[in-house]
């Protein structure tokens, strides 16, 4: 009986190890694909000038960055709310799903 219990525990540990390895492989594949896509896109956009500096990139985006804010009460303007709605994942800025964020606070129709 002890041998059977030991074999079951060993099998469970091996299965868990395999699943963990498989998950890390999937993450590595997705990360590599994303890096390659960024290199292709950015390389074309940069030409011979190299990558844009952070301040230049921020200025091109209207001075906004996806910094974790997700509610209208955290926005400072309608333009900022529109930027966050369009480019930042996981925001809660358009309660009625009409495409216009923060209607009561910033972007009155």
Give DSSP secondary structure letters for the chain. Answer: -HHHHHHHHHHHHHHHHHHHHHHHHHHHHHHHHHHHHHHHHHHHHHTTS-SPPHHHHHHHTTT----S--BGGG-SSHHHHHHHHHH-TT-B--TT-SS---TTTT---
Dihedral angle, C-alpha 46, 52, 58, 60, nearest 10 °: -40
The reply to whether 95 falls in a domain is: yes
Share of the chain above pLDDT 90, in %: 18
d(CA 96, CA 76): 20
In a shared domain, residues 46 and 8: yes
Whether 36 and 71 map to the same domain: the answer is no
Q: What does the pLDDT read at residue 34?
A: 65
Overall number of domains in the chain: 2
pTM of the model: 0.46
Compute the half-sphere exposure of residue 82: CA atoms within 13 Å on the CB side of its CA: 10
Are 70 and 34 part of one and the same domain?
Answer: no
What is the predicted pLDDT for the residue at 16?
A: 77
Whether 36 and 69 map to the same domain: the answer is no
pLDDT of residue 58: 54
> Model confidence at 72, in pLDDT bands (50, 70, 90)?
very high
**Does residue 56 register a pLDDT over 80?**
no
Same domain, 68 and 109: yes
pLDDT for position 100: 92
Which structural domain, as residue segments, surrounds residue 32? Answer: 2-51
Residue 58 lies in a domain: no
Q: What is the pLDDT of residue 48?
A: 47
Write down the pLDDT at residue 71.
Answer: 93
Q: Which pLDDT does position 91 carry in this prediction? A: 92
The whole-number pLDDT of residue 9 equals 78
Q: Are residues 83 and 44 in the same domain?
A: no
């Amino acid at each position: 009986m002890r041998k059977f219990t030991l074999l079951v525990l060993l099998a469970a540990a091996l299965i868990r190890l395999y699943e963990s390895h498989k998950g890390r492989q999937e993450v590595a594949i997705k990360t590599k694909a994303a890096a390659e896509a960024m290199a292709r896109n950015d390389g074309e956009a940069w030409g011979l000038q190299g990558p844009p500096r952070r301040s230049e990139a921020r200025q091109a985006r209207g001075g906004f960055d996806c910094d974790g804010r997700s509610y209208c009460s955290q926005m400072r303007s309608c333009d900022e709310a529109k930027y966050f709605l369009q480019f930042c994942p996981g925001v809660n800025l358009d309660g009625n799903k009409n495409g216009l964020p923060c209607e009561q606070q910033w972007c009155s129709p």
